[in-house]
């Protein structure tokens, strides 16, 4: 049986070490909300590591995770800490076995001050659109 996974690893700069500590409270609350969903989304991992600095959170999948849960966390942190500017991440969707169309990815860009998505793209959609354009000629 083929399994499908969403993989990502990214950083979020929350400005100060104190905000980083508070971000863990936001994460804990979000994970509790998520656990009450039926079914819950696949959670992501959160940590602070010395190589990234005391105010940069490392967000990553544990093998597979839900991108929307990550986006919700980032927008809640942005609101709580008054973050501004753009933030984004890339992801890869992979199949455990080689299957046709089982591998693609994408990227997502947020405006931290509004929480709005500025742009996003999926390589699977991009490829399908480009192939359809060729068929239309």
**What DSSP string describes 102-117?**
--EEEEEEEETTT--E
What range does the domain containing 130 cover?
4-136
List, edge to edge, every strand of the sheet that includes 117-122: 4-7, 86-95, 104-111, 117-122
Number of compact structural domains in the chain = 1
pTM value is 0.90
Q: How far apart are CA 137 and CA 135, in angstroms?
A: 6
Give the pLDDT confidence of 74-116 residue by residue, as tens digits.
999 999 999 999 999 999 999 999 898 888 999 999 999 999 9
Give the pLDDT confidence of 39-69 residue by residue, as tens digits.
999 999 999 999 999 999 999 999 899 999 9
List C-alpha distances in Å: 9 to 27, 44, 56, 98, 99.
16, 10, 13, 23, 24
């Amino acid at each position: 049986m083929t399994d499908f996974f969403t993989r990502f690893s990214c950083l979020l700069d929350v400005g100060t070490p104190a905000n980083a500590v508070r971000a863990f409270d936001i994460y804990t609350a979000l994970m509790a909300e998520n656990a009450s969903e039926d079914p819950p989304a696949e959670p992501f991992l959160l940590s602070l590591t010395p190589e990234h600095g005391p105010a940069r959170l490392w967000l990553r999948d544990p093998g597979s995770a839900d991108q929307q849960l990550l986006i919700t966390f980032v927008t809640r942190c942005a609101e709580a800490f008054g973050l501004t500017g753009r933030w984004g991440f890339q992801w890869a969707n992979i199949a455990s076995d080689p299957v046709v169309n089982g591998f693609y990815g994408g990227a997502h860009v947020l405006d931290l001050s509004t929480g709005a998505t500025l742009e996003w793209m999926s390589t699977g959609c991009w490829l399908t659109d480009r192939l359809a354009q060729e068929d239309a000629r």
